[in-house]
Structure 1
Amino acid sequence: MPRLWLVERSYDDRNLISFVYATTDGTKQLRKELSATLLQQRSDPITAAIDIDDEDELAAVDPDNQEQYATEAQSVAADYEPDEPI
């Protein structure tokens, strides 16, 4: 079961917030999009890491972003507990 760490959070003009979680080697990612309204209504917080049961859910990271994602994932892993809100 791979563990992925939050490496990117972005907002768009459609009121969606995108969260990108990546492996510490920067090669695999999972992107989640939530509406800002739904995010405010959630009882569970966005955490520093998530564990994925099905590796088929993961997408390859663009080679141009792999180093950045690896660096960010390693930094978050060093600074936060996996279940810590971020």
Structure 2
Amino acid sequence: MTNGTAETTRVWLVERTYSDDEQNLIVLTYATTDGSQYFRKERALTSCSDARETTAAVAAEPSNLGSIDDPELETQYAAEATRMAKQYDTDDTI
């Protein structure tokens, strides 16, 4: 499934969590609309005024995508990615 360019795959934000291992680290998880693949992006917050935008979708290199082997998580990610794709444009800030 590609909806990016010929070299990338479009993935949609499905989860935003704080890292358990490191303070001030946010983990953004994006997934394909079929829920079969995911892309994780880690973002360190450097200060209280650190305001970097998070977009609804990103184009990920296929080599940076992981496979989802848990059917329940795959269903959850597919539902959320599909909802995001219907509700937002790719460059919308979330």
Instruction: Report TM bin, short chain.
Output: 0.7 to 0.9
Q: Which has the larger radius of gyration?
A: 2
Q: What runs of 5+ residues in structure 2 fail to find an aligned partner?
A: 1-7
Higher helix share: 1
SS of residue matched to 2:91: coil
Greater length-normalized contact order (CA 8 Å, ≥ 6 residues apart): 1
Count of equivalent residues: 83
**1:41 CA drift (Å):** 5.4
Q: TM-score, normalised by structure 2?
A: 0.79
Query: What's 2:13 paired with?
Result: 6
Deviations 1:3-52 (A, max 9, x none): 0000000013521100000000000000111112279154xx11000012
TM-score (norm 1): 0.86
Let me know the Cα RMSD of the aligned residues.
1.8
Gaps in structure 1 of 5+ consecutive residues: none
Question: Could you tell me which residue of structure 1 aligns to residue 87 of structure 2?
Answer: 79
Which residue of 2 is the match for residue 23 of structure 1?
Answer: 32
